[in-house]
Amino acid sequence: MIAEAYRDMYGRDLITDLKENLSHHFKEVMVGLMYPPASYDAHELWHALKGVDTEEKCLIDILASRSNMEIFQMKEAYLMQYNNDLQQDIDSETSGHFRDTLMNLAQGTRLEGYADPCTATQDAMILWEACQQKTGEHKNMLQMILCNKSYQQLWMVFQEFQNISGQDIVDAINDCYDGYFQELLVAIVLCVRDKPSYFAYRLYNAIHDFGFHNKTVIRILIARSEIDLMNIRQRYKERYGKSLFHDIKHFASGHYESALLAICAGDAEDY
């Protein structure tokens, strides 16, 4: 609405003016805030797929966590903004079982809200066999279950998996697989269990393990700012002892810091 008013009043495009007059990470934040959620996801996916190097972790963060409706809207935005088909670009820019799982997620065909306790044990057995056998066929079955069953169904499946194997599903995946395929499977499981906790974990790693990975911090704060950022902040503080606000303030600076903190907000004790 602000962008429309800006165009009406001054005859100029606000995003273009922001790009021309700002710089570095501060520009990335302010321009990113101008996109509607689906358009922002499309923007991030395009750059992750079409940049100099494919940014697999960006693909994982977005496609492992979005609902069917969010995926449908981002595919529409991707086509409109870049005149490309998202699934075709995933197919051409990634490979192996990682690609197959991303392609499955990008279909947006998860059975949301549907749960069948009668098949939970059967699904858990399939997952257990997939972790034991590790053949191409078993990998396909594993990703089919994780990408297409509802969150409610998967909650029961993970519990049955624990009962059958005596092992948590995340530990089993980590033991049996590696690379970006393993990271994607774990991300799906963590999002099923608690999406805000997953993003708190990703933010903490981006801030502490990679010397402040700016792209990841910016992407998560903007993408979740109108969805569940308050919950992410809460999980972050519960899990890591310090607030997200505190850690951003410690690592960022200048207008960039001010912009991130304005999105993040904070409790009185965080200042």
Q: What does R_g of the chain's alpha carbons equal in angstroms?
A: 20
CA-to-CA distance for 68 and 100, rounded, in angstroms? 17
CA-to-CA distance for 106 and 14, rounded, in angstroms? 31
What is the CB-side half-sphere exposure of residue 230 using CA atoms within 13 A? Answer: 3
Structure tokens of 193? 């269990």
- Total residue count of the chain as it appears in this document: 271
Alpha-carbon distances of 85 from 58, 107, 119, rounded to whole Å: 18, 12, 35
Residue 43 burial (CB count, 10 A): 19
Alpha-carbon distances of 127 from 62, 138, 154, 174, rounded to whole Å: 23, 8, 11, 13
Structure tokens of 102? 């991303």
Q: Would you give the distance in Å from CA 17 to the centre of its chain?
A: 29
CA-to-CA distance for 76 and 80, rounded, in angstroms? 6
211 is in an annotated binding site: yes
Backbone angles phi, psi at 4, to 5 degrees: -65, -45
CA-to-CA distance for 60 and 244, rounded, in angstroms? 22
Helix axes 68-82, 96-107, angle to 10 degrees: 100
Q: Which residues are annotated as a binding site?
A: 211
Annotated binding site for Ca(2+): 211
